[in-house]
Amino acid sequence: MTLPPYADLLGITLETAPEGLGEGAPVLAMPFGGDVIGRPGFVHGGALAGLLEMAAIVALKHALEGEARAGTRIKPINVTVDFMRGGREKVTRAQGIVSRLGTRIANVETIAWQDDRERPVAAARLNFLLADS
Partner 1 sequence: MDPVPFPFDPAAFFAALPAGHGRRLGIRYDSHGPDWCQLVLPWREDLVGDPARGVIASGPIVALLDMATSVAVWMKRGGFLPHATLDLRVDYLRPAAPGREVVGRGECYRVTRSVAFVRGIAHDGDAADPVAHVAGTFMFTGVPA
DSSP lists the bridge partners of residue 76 as 128
Q: Residues near 59 by Cβ (< 8 Å), separated by ≥ 6?
A: 25, 26, 95, 96, 97, 98, 108, 110
38 lies in the binding site for partner 1 (CB under 8 A): yes
Interface mask toward partner 1 for 92-111; x: CB under 8 A:
--------------------
Contact between 5 and partner 1 by CB under 8 A: the answer reads yes
| Binding residue (CB under 8 A) for partner 1 from 34, 67, 102, 132 | 34
Q: Footprint of partner 1 on residues 44-83 (CB under 8 A)?
A: 44-47, 49-51, 53-54, 75-83
- Taking CB under 8 A as the rule, does residue 120 contact partner 1? no
C-alpha to C-alpha distances, 66 to 22, 100, 101, 113, 127, nearest whole angstrom: 14, 14, 11, 26, 19
- Contact yes or no for 44/36 (Cβ under 8 A): yes
By beta-carbon proximity to partner 1, the closer residue of 20 and 133 is 133
Which one of 8-16, 19-27, 87-95, 107-115 is the stretch in contact with partner 1 (CB under 8 A)? 8-16
**Chain residues that interact with partner 1, rule: CB under 8 A:** 4-6, 8-10, 34-38, 44-47, 49-51, 53-54, 75-83, 86
